[in-house]
């Protein structure tokens, strides 16, 4: 496979068409019958092998997450983990940013191109908007919030992460939450909300409500809510008004529970 085809494959292109029509070569019946047949793997067998590989990578990520006793150990394990295909195309592993002692934890979707280059979650235009949104209700990643993502590497062409990619990263995310041990989780965007809450509904229905989130590493459930992703708000600025009401509700909860102290 040449470099062009490798790149097209990496960004998710499955079919490639020539720019100009080409003459098809018609073979005679003898040529067709004499050519040895190639035995192809069945779709079921291919799917089984792929699922088996994903299962092995999930098992490995779970084992590494189990062994991490602190944030530094978890980060080191993630940096050495090669079980997620996204890492092959990423510039950096985007682990987290903010105050490790924070009572508020935000979890987004996946790094974008700027985050991938900097190695910092929510960096650039969408990151600036998120910072401004948080600042408006008295929250900042420097003082009283910690931020990470559902997956730690940028998907090619900024596509959404697949279910398999999310599941492979899930053990690290779960241990990440347990080690920070926040009092409030804010899920940023649909991918984070649906994957961590196990909801089939989209972000529009999930937002504004509060849920109890838990996983095997937590001794008690954590209050969790969700907001629109800032990248979505940049594309749909009319939703900023709705998002502001969500932020006011979060502010009320934060103040009533003294999470900024």
User: What structural domains and CATH numbers belong to the chain?
Assistant: 48-256 (3.40.470.10)
Q: Tell me the percentage of the chain whose pLDDT exceeds 90.
A: 77
Q: How confident is the model at residue 25 (pLDDT cuts 50, 70, 90)?
A: very low
More confident residue, 178 or 6: 178
pLDDT for 130: 98
DSSP, collapsed to helix, strand or coil, labels residue 26 as coil
Q: What is the dihedral of CA 90, 190, 180, 171, to 10 degrees?
A: -60
pLDDT above 80 (res 4): no
The pLDDT score that the predictor gives to residue 133 is 97
User: Taking the model in full, what pTM does it have?
Assistant: 0.80
Q: What is the C-alpha separation between 59 and 54, in angstroms, rounded?
A: 9
Q: Write phi, then psi, for 130 (nearest 5 degrees).
A: -60, -45
The yes-or-no verdict on residue 26 having pLDDT over 70 is no
Q: Please state the rounded mean pLDDT for residues 31-55.
A: 52
Sheet holding 145-149, edge to edge: 97-98, 145-149, 104-108, 184-188, 222-227, 211-213
pLDDT at 202: 87
pLDDT tens digits along 116-148? 999 999 999 999 999 999 999 999 999 999 999
C-alpha span between 217 and 179 (Å, rounded): 9
Asked if the model's pLDDT at residue 65 lies above 50, the reply is yes
Mean pLDDT of 230-257: 96
pLDDT score for 11? 39
197 phi/psi in degrees, rounded to 5: -95, -10
pLDDT exceeds cutoff 80 at 261: no
Q: Is the pLDDT of residue 195 over 60?
A: yes
Taking the C-alpha atoms of residue 120 and residue 97, their distance in angstroms, rounded to an integer, is 6
List the alpha helices (DSSP H) in 85-160: 113-118, 125-135
How far is 148 from 133, CA to CA, in rounded Å?
17
Q: What is the pLDDT of residue 49?
A: 53
Considering the chain, what is the average pLDDT of its residues? Answer: 86
Residue of 66 and 261 predicted with greater confidence: 66
> How far apart are the C-alpha atoms of 202 and 225, rounded to whole Å?
13
CA angle in degrees (0–180, nearest 5) for 35-37-40: 150
Q: Is 189 or 31 the better-scoring residue by pLDDT?
A: 189
What is the reported pLDDT for 24? Answer: 41
pLDDT of residue 39 exceeding 90, the answer is no
What is the H or E stretch that residue 107 is in?
Answer: strand 104-108
Q: In Å, how far are 5, 57, 225 from 10, measured between CA atoms? A: 8, 20, 34
b or e along 181-203 (b: 16 or more beta carbons within 10 Å of the residue's beta carbon)?
Answer: ebebbbbbbbbbbbbbbebeeeb
Residue 52's pLDDT band (cuts 50, 70, 90): confident
Residue position matching structure tokens 């006793």: 69
CB distance 115 to 124 below 8 Å: yes
Q: What is the pLDDT of residues 72-110, one digit of tens each?
A: 999 999 999 999 999 999 999 999 999 999 999 999 999
Higher pLDDT, 163 or 5: 163
């Amino acid at each position: 496979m040449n470099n062009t085809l490798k790149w097209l494959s990496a960004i998710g292109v499955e079919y490639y068409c020539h720019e100009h029509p080409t003459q098809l070569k018609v073979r005679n019946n003898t040529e067709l019958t004499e050519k040895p047949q190639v035995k192809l793997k069945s779709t079921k067998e291919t799917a089984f092998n792929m699922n088996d590989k994903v299962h092995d990578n999930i098992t490995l990520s779970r084992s590494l997450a189990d062994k991490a006793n602190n944030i530094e150990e978890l980060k080191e394990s993630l940096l050495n983990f090669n079980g997620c295909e996204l890492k092959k195309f990423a510039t950096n592993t985007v682990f987290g940013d903010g105050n490790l002692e924070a009572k508020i934890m935000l979890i987004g979707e996946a790094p974008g191109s700027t985050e991938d280059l900097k190695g910092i979650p929510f960096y650039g235009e969408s990151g600036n908007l998120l910072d401004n949104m948080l600042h408006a209700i008295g929250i900042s990643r420097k003082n009283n919030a910690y931020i990470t993502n559902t997956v730690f590497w940028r998907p090619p062409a900024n596509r959404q992460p697949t279910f398999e990619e999310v599941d492979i990263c899930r053990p690290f995310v779960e241990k990440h939450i347990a080690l920070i041990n926040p009092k409030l989780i804010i899920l940023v965007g649909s991918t984070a909300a649906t994957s961590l809450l196990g909801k089939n509904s989209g972000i529009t229905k999930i937002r504004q409500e509060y849920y109890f989130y838990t996983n095997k590493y937590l001794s008690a459930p954590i209050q969790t809510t969700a907001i629109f992703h800032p990248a979505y708000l940049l594309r749909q600025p009319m939703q900023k008004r709705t998002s502001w009401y969500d932020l006011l509700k979060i502010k009320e909860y934060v103040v009533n529970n003294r999470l900024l102290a």
